Amino acid sequence: MGPIGTGILIAIGVIILITIIANIKIVPQAKAYVIERFGAYHTTWDTGIHFKVPFVEKIAKKVNKMEQVADFPPQPVITKDNVRMQIDTVVFYQITDCKLYAYGHATPMTAIENLTSTTLRNIIGEMELDSTLTSRDIINTKMRSILDEATDPWGIKVNRVELKNIIPPKEIQDAMEKQMKAERERREAILRAEGEKNSAILVAEGQKQAMILNAEAEKQSQILRAEALKESKIREAEGEAEAILKIQQATADGIRMVNEARPAEGVIALKSLETFEKVADGKATKIIIPSEIQNLAGIVASIKGVAENETV
């Protein structure tokens, strides 16, 4: 074989090598390749190294198996009470069957967008404006259930549906802002009234407690004054009793001393006269003298006369 034949063989070998290398495919993580053979579905390649038969097999579709997000533009809807608004939705979906995704629908994402729009109109058309604004969770749940059932033949699973924005008309927004402002003012007035009420209650409670404390203090003061007066009277009575006892003791001691001294009758008569002298020294105009003392007085007068004669 000449140089020309050798060159042709080398060229053919290089072409075969390049073809083999070119047909070695590596499927990355979370990806899948749909393979067709002679124009018909053959298999699905998952993560790893695969070899494609040249001129026989081809990669029909590369599929991303991770969860994805489809953010659709705002859709015009009309509520049950004839309010026109704009609502945009966000759909979280994941491809679960690569074959169905590749052959189930020509444009699955466009189909999901249109299906989302019609489903949203149907749900909102059965609700009024107020319930639409306050029932996001209910709307999300209904839409997810309907979309998941509709996209199941396409190999797509709808995990979540979220209403991103609800945009009512300008006049409705102005009315809602006024309503919110009035509601805030009403709550402010209620809070202010509650505060004033609580303040008045606290003041009244304070005055009540002060009056109770003052009454208790006055009561305790009266009790203490009564106790002090009682103690004073007791001490005064004890002093008077002690004084009376001392006087009685002194009188008893005097009588005892007189009895022990045994004075003569003349001395007793003189003492009696001295006593009547002190009694008569007052303002009394009539004095009754016992007969015994009169006799003693006569005896004293006789003794006095005898004494005077002896002196002459």
DSSP assignment of 177-233 equals HHHHHHHHHHHHHHHHHHHHHHHHHHHHHHHHHHHHHHHHHHHHHHHHHHHHHHHHH
Residue 117 burial by CB count (10 A; 0-12/13-18/19+): exposed, middle or buried?
Answer: middle
The arithmetic mean of pLDDT across residues 217-223, rounded, is 87
205 and 258 belong to one structural domain: yes
SS3 87: strand
* pLDDT the model gives residue 272: 58
CB 107 within 8 A of CB 88: no
DSSP alpha helices (H): ranges in the chain? 3-22, 98-103, 108-124, 129-134, 136-151, 170-261, 265-280, 291-311
- pLDDT over threshold 70, residue 263: no
User: Is residue 9, in this structure, part of any structural domain at all?
Assistant: no
Structural domain harbouring 298:
263-312
Using pLDDT thresholds of 50, 70 and 90, give the confidence band for residue 281.
low
109 and 142 belong to one structural domain: yes
The arithmetic mean of pLDDT across residues 124-130, rounded, is 87
270 and 225 belong to one structural domain: no
User: Is residue 272, in this structure, part of any structural domain at all?
Assistant: yes
d(CA 102, CA 204): 80
* pLDDT the model gives residue 258: 63
User: Is residue 10, in this structure, part of any structural domain at all?
Assistant: no
The arithmetic mean of pLDDT across residues 98-126, rounded, is 91
d(CA 68, CA 91): 8
* pLDDT the model gives residue 312: 45
Residue 74 burial by CB count (10 A; 0-12/13-18/19+): exposed, middle or buried?
Answer: middle
What's the CATH number where 132 sits? 3.30.479.30
* pLDDT the model gives residue 307: 46
97 and 135 belong to one structural domain: yes
d(CA 106, CA 84): 32
240 and 298 belong to one structural domain: no
pLDDT single digits (tens) 151-174 = 999 999 999 999 888 888 787 777
CB 152 within 8 A of CB 96: no
72 and 148 belong to one structural domain: yes
- pLDDT over threshold 60, residue 110: yes
Q: For Cα atoms 53, 59, 62, give the angle at the middle one, nearest 5 degrees.
A: 145
Number of domains in the chain: 4
CB atoms within 10 A of CB 99: 16
CB atoms within 10 A of CB 41: 14
* pLDDT the model gives residue 306: 44
221 and 278 belong to one structural domain: no
The residue ranking higher by pLDDT, 217 or 177, is 217
31 and 82 belong to one structural domain: no
* pLDDT the model gives residue 265: 60
The arithmetic mean of pLDDT across residues 101-111, rounded, is 90
The pTM of the full predicted model, rounded to 2 decimals, is: 0.55
- pLDDT over threshold 70, residue 259: no
pLDDT single digits (tens) 53-83 = 888 999 999 999 999 999 988 888 988 888 8
The residue ranking higher by pLDDT, 132 or 176, is 132
